[in-house]
Amino acid sequence: MTSNNKKNPSLGRGLSALLSDTTATAGGSNLIAIEKIEPNPFNPRTDFDENALKELAESIQELGIIQPLTLRKLNTDKYQIISGERRFRASQIAGLKEVPAYIRVANDQSMLEMALVENIQRENLNAIEIGLSYHRLLEECKMTQTDLSQKIAKSRSDITNHLRLLKLPAKIQACVRDGKISMGHARALLSISDEHQQLLALDSILEKGLSVREIEQWNSKTTTPKSSPSSNHLSPLEKQLVKALGTSVKITESAKGKGKLIVSFDSRIQRDALIAKLSQG
C-alpha cells in the first residue's frame, strides 16, 4: 500500500475493509454449525419481516447461501454474528444444520462499529434505523460527522437529515419505521415547530393522504395569523379570535344580540387545524 492513494481505499467496501480474516484458507469461508451461532446483541435491526424471511428460506433451500455470514469467534464452540443475521434466521427456517461463514476477531467496541457500518451499507434499513445507527456511531464509537461521512461514503447532509428524524415524536418515528409515511413526509413534519400540530398533520397524512408539499405548507397555514390592512378596524372580540385562531374572523351582530361568526380558511389543512383548536377545551 503506497501513500499516494487519492482516496481512502476502505470507502464503500463494508466489512472487508475493516476486518482481517483469521483463517488461512485461500477461498475464504468455513462451514459452521448453526447451533454454535448466536445473534449479535449490537445489531441495530430489531424487526424482521416473517414473510420476507420465509421467502429467503425458500431461496436458500433452492440455491444455498450465496453470501456467507461474518462471525466473531467467542470460544472453541461458540460464534457471534457480526453481519448476516437475516440469512442466519432464514437458514434456521430452511432447516440447515450449518452455514458458510467468514470468521473474524474483534473486541466489542470494534464489533459494534463493524455491525453498524455493515448494516448501513448493505441492509435495507428504514430511515429511523439508519438514524439510530448514525447516532450510535457518533455517540458510542466517538466518531465525528466528518469521520462517519468518510467511513460510510455518505454526505454529511444525509447523516444530518437522518439524525433529525430522531427528534420527532415517538408516534411519528414509529410510522416512518413501519413504512406508513415516507422520509419526505417526516422531514416536512420537522418544519412544524409545535408537537401537537405535528401529530395533527400526521393524522391528516394517514387519513387523507396529504402530500409532502401540503405538509410543508401546514406550518404557515396553521400558526401564522393573517395580517390585514383593515385589522385596525376589527372589534376587540374579533382581534382576540384572530390571535387565538390564526386566521381572519368576521362578527356581525344585531342590536338584539343575534348575528354570525364567520371564520375563514384557505385549505383543508387549515380547516382541520381550526377544528382541532376549536375542539380543545
Q: Write the DSSP string, 215-258.
A: HHTHHHHHHSPPP-TTGGGS-HHHHHHHHHHSS-EEEEE-TTS-
Spatial distance between the Cα atoms of 255 and 31, rounded to a whole number of angstroms: 93
* Grid cell in block for residue 21: 480474516
* Grid cell in block for residue 85: 443475521
Strand 78-83 to 69-75 pairing: antiparallel
Question: What Å distances lie between residue 204 and 151, 192, 208, 211, CA to CA?
Answer: 39, 14, 5, 10
Spatial distance between the Cα atoms of 213 and 107, rounded to a whole number of angstroms: 47
CA-closest candidate to residue 262, choices 240, 238, 228, 233: 238
> Which of 38, 55, 62, 85 is an active site residue?
85
62 assigned to active site = no
Residues involved in catalysis: 85
